[in-house]
Structure 1
Amino acid sequence: MIKKISRKLEKIFSESSLYFKIYAAPYHRVVKREIELTKKHGNLKPPLLNIGCGSMPFTTYYLARETDLEVVAVDQDSEMTDLAKKTIKKLGLENKITVINKKASEIDFKEYQAVYTALHLKNKKKVYNQFMETAPQGSRFLVREPRKTFKNHYEELNNNSVDLVKHRLVTFDRTCLYIKD
């Protein structure tokens, strides 16, 4: 139910750059803290990857804005990626952000040093395993994990993370960092 409501709101808000910025505002601090966590364990090198961007790619937006690096945004839903491309164009970031329609489990991570995943990502363990198989050594994988009250709505990776950062959002309370050995 939460995912369906979020999806509808995102489709509506993706029509306006003002609505996008209002909707995205609570995530600015989250993404800044995730960037700091990533940098704590090595330099950031382009391109960064955001998995599960949806039609409102606010994580992608803040990654590009805060790091000044190229960002690739991926979502498996073609309707969402079409809307995301329009949103990115409205924001004037089409030269910095590339939006791709693809299943996360099919990504070859060899060119990504830092991967940021959405809370709603499905098959987190499968995607994590794909990352561990194909990413370069030292690459970082960040996963937003649900609060206890939302564990029945969102998957939890729940491996032994190297580090984490805590958040005060309704649906998730932490981002866990994993590093490819």
Structure 2
Amino acid sequence: MLKGVNRVLLAIAGLVLIALGGSVLAIGLGAPAPSWWLHDGRHDVLLDEAERTRWRDEGWWWPVVIAALAVLVLLCLWWLLAVLRRRRPAEVLVDTGDGEGASLRGRALEHALEEEANRLDGVARAHVRLTGRATEPRARALLTLEPHVEPGAALHGLTTGAVAHARDSTGLAALPTEARLHARKHRPERVT
């Protein structure tokens, strides 16, 4: 949901900037200025003489303004790229052995890894997410373990079970996996 809100806010900001820039361009080309507009017409300047010379004696003013605007533009571009960049591969290229290859949906591979990891002894819940490229996917696994399970045994079961099966079935040379293990918290119980 946060990603959707982020994109909506970015779209609104972009539309506002396009509308303001387009109206400045239209007035500059001779269109009549609306009554609510900040300036009177085509030959009106954005900053008049008094506004431009107000800080003239201060040598720091204009470099600070230009640097702040440059930082703002760079932050906006970084934000746009972060929103538009796809972090998960939509599909994984599978080697079929006949030289052709096939594509497997990334979410299907995530689901298969999760299902097999959930069947491991002592794993209360598993969540797997693929990252990387379609030709070189990487997996991130979050395992919630029961209190009695040794983390090393759970990690060994994950790497020799779910990850090895996924790597072999897709024909990948390697499937690097980052695993985060958390212990499940249980409520204290009264013993009688």
Q: Which has the higher contact order (CA 8 A, sep 6+)?
A: 1
Q: What TM-score do the two structures reach when normalised by structure 1?
A: 0.24
TM-score (normalised: structure 2): 0.23
Which protein has the larger Cα radius of gyration, Structure 1 or Structure 2?
A: 2
